[in-house]
Amino acid sequence: MDPTILSGDLVLVDHNRNYVAPQGGIYALSINHEIMIKRIHPLHSEGKLRIISDNKKYEPVDYEEERVKINGKVIWYAREIEK
């Protein structure tokens, strides 16, 4: 999720929000047992979720909703100012 969330950042996930809101957002999710944090945009009319990385090196990918397990919504993140 670089540049939004960097490796080593602390992330707070609300596990009670394990569904995608109509406006989408940033979520902790798993696809094929791989856990990741990504931006999700729902494509309800198609029954799909568009998985988006803020890193422009990666193209958005659409998955059938049932293939994506939503672990929770990212509600906060922080990073150290200096190491």
Locate the domains of the chain by residue range: 10-78
- The SS3 of residue 61 is strand
Of 13, 4, 1, nearest to 76 by C-alpha is: 13
Exposure letters 15-46 (e unless 16+ CB within 10 A, then b)? eebeebeeeeebbbbeeeeeeebbbbebeeee
Fold annotation for 10-78:
Umud Fragment, subunit A (2.10.109)
CA distance 2 to 68: 21
Per-residue pLDDT at 83: 73
32-78 pLDDT, tens per residue?
Answer: 999 999 999 999 899 999 999 999 999 999 999 999 999 999 999 99
Q: What is the pTM of this model?
A: 0.93
- The SS3 of residue 77 is strand
Query: What share of residues in the chain are helix, strand, coil (percent, to 5)?
Result: 5, 50, 40
